[in-house]
Amino acid sequence: MAKLVRFGMSLEEELLAQFDRHIQKKKYTNRSEAIRDLIRDDLVKQEWRDNKEVTGAITLVYDHHLRELVNKILDIQHDDHTCIVSTQHIHLDHHHCFEIIVTKGKSRNIEGLYQKLKSIKGVKHAGFTKATLGNDLS
């Protein structure tokens, strides 16, 4: 386990009260864990800005009856196959499909893949979760 260091911090009383209300809603039991998560989130955002090797998940909801749309989704995934680890396809109902594309690679390539998929006409919803490989985080 990493060595823990205590440090003091000054901030406006009302801002601290706001933070305490906020983390209570998010079910944190103490400020330290909430602050750790904020720091980690920011470090992960920086990894993505710095075009580091990262991981993430892209989700798509679309109607598979639009054949042209399905072909485009497949073509784009084959073009960018080097940053795709796996794809899971779920048939939601008679019309709709839910696809989860797990990615790993340079952040710029993954962002590019997401933008290409999201902008296809007929995609009803596209989601994007940016994560880290964890190597640069404590």
Binding site for Ni ion (CB under 5 A): 64, 91, 97
Radius of gyration of the chain (CA): 20
Cβ 55 to Ni ion shortest distance, Å:
24
Provide, rounded to whole angstroms, the least separation between the CB of residue 131 and Ni ion: 25
Backbone angles phi, psi at 123, to 5 degrees: -70, 120
Residue nearest to Ni ion (CB): 97
Q: Return the axis-axis angle of helices 107-118 and 67-79, rounded to nearest 10°.
A: 170
Nearer to Ni ion, 47 or 99 (CB): 99
Burial class (CB in 10 A: 0-12, 13-18, 19+), 66: middle
Comparison of 88 and 115: residue with beta carbon closer to Ni ion: 88
Closer Cβ to Ni ion, 66 or 131, answer by number: 66
